[in-house]
């Protein structure tokens, strides 16, 4: 995905051979791990030699570990940013050698052995989310004829860029009856690129339904929404907080370190988000939860929104950048 999105944003992109750690740890597939780690570190070393950066920022995952390792071998400063509520193996190991560990939540500090290195800054969110767009204007982008009504309720369903099959199926079995029973409800449904053709063939055209494989104008989608139904990826959770949206989170069970479940649990604590596990998810459970929030006491939605905004850290991007640049400045002065 990055190989397409990064160049389209105007930045050069270089891929790095993956280093995958399989579960369980003693899996036979991990026998080749040292070879792949060495191969990827050498490749990263060459890229860093050509690019010659002042500092390297790791954000976790299989790619960041060999890249940051190569940076340390080259004598470069390394900082890491942990987006999730608990660190993965890569960031946990790199935290021993990094100059600074930027974390999104106060509770994440306790997960790192060298707590003095941690700075709670939040996660960077796209600047467009902070640029005010009125709900009425945003809704007309998706529903030009009827979406601007004040009494309308808009549900934004996100499954990530690749989609979430279980969310799509649950909504497929639910949307028609829901829109029939609630004449003033609207749905913005991002199916994911891979699932779009199938969903489009099964979904009936409805004036209160906006079906799309991918949302490029996320700022408008959030501005239009009263409720967000989504996976519990770290960046999505931060965007929900920054926009102050009530949310129903359905954490993906496919991530080996359980990040999304822990992210969702934290969101439930700080913002009152509702959590539905994959095992619990079906059209009945999803429909009941949506109905309880939107059709229930408006004070509940107001409280969820207020708590989300209170927990948000909208200046995370600037704060992280400021600390990184100060480290660069300090290192250049020494030279």
pLDDT for the residue numbered 21: 82
d(CA 40, CA 69): 10
Asked if the model's pLDDT at residue 284 lies above 60, the reply is yes
Confidence of residue 126 (pLDDT cuts 50, 70, 90): confident
Q: What DSSP assignment string belongs to 199-264?
A: HHHHSPP-TTEEEES--S-HHHHHHH-SEEEE---HHHHHHHHHHT--EEE---S-STT-HHHHHH
Whether the CB-CB separation of 164 and 252 falls below 8 Å is answered with yes
Q: What is the mean pLDDT of residues 110-123?
A: 96
200: tokens are 């489009």
pTM of the model: 0.90
Residues contacting residue 174 through CB under 8 Å, at least 6 positions apart? 283, 286, 287
Asked if the model's pLDDT at residue 147 lies above 60, the reply is no
**Between the CA atoms of 306, 134, 122 and 64, what dihedral angle is there, to the nearest 10 degrees?**
140
pLDDT for the residue numbered 94: 96
pLDDT digits (tens, 9 = 90+) for 300-329: 999 999 999 999 998 999 999 999 999 999
pLDDT digits (tens, 9 = 90+) for 64-94: 999 999 999 999 999 999 999 999 999 999 9
pLDDT digits (tens, 9 = 90+) for 225-235: 999 999 999 99
CA distances from 273 to 223, 283, 301, 304 (A): 18, 19, 10, 7
pLDDT digits (tens, 9 = 90+) for 156-187: 999 766 668 999 999 999 999 999 999 999 99
């Amino acid at each position: 995905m990055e190989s397409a999105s990064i160049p389209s944003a105007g930045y050069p992109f270089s891929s790095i051979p993956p280093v995958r750690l399989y579960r369980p740890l003693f899996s036979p597939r991990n026998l080749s791990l040292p070879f792949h780690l060495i191969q990827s570190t050498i490749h990263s070393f060459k890229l860093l030699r050509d690019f010659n950066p002042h500092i390297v920022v790791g954000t976790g995952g299989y790619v960041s570990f060999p890249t940051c390792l190569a940076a340390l071998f080259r004598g470069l400063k390394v900082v890491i940013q942990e987006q999730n509520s608990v660190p993965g193996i890569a960031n946990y190991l790199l935290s021993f050698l990094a100059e600074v560990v930027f974390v999104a939540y106060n509770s994440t500090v306790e997960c790192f052995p060298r707590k003095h290195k941690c700075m709670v800054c939040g996660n960077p969110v796209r600047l467009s989310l902070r640029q005010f767009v009125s709900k009425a204007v945003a809704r007309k982008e998706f529903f030009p004829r009827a979406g601007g009504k004040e009494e309308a309720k808009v549900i934004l369903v996100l499954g990530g860029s690749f989609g979430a099959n279980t969310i799509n199926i649950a909504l497929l079995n639910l949307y028609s009856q829901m829109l029939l029973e609630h004449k003033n409800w609207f749905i913005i449904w991002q199916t994911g690129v891979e699932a779009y053709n199938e969903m489009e063939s099964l979904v009936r055209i409805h004036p209160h339904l906006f079906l799309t494989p991918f949302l490029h104008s996320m700022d408008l989608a959030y501005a239009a929404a009263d409720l967000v139904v989504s996976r519990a990826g770290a960046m999505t959770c931060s965007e929900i907080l920054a926009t102050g949206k009530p949310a129903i989170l359905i954490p993906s069970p496919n991530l080996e370190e359980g990040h999304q479940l822990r992210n969702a649990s934290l969101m439930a604590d700080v913002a009152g988000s509702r959590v539905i596990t994959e095992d619990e998810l079906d059209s009945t459970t999803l429909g009941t939860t949506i109905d309880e929030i939107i059709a229930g006491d408006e004070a509940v939605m107001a409280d969820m929104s207020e708590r989300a905004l209170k927990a948000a850290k909208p200046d995370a991007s600037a704060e992280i950048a400021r600390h990184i640049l100060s480290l660069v400045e300090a290192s250049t002065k020494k030279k």
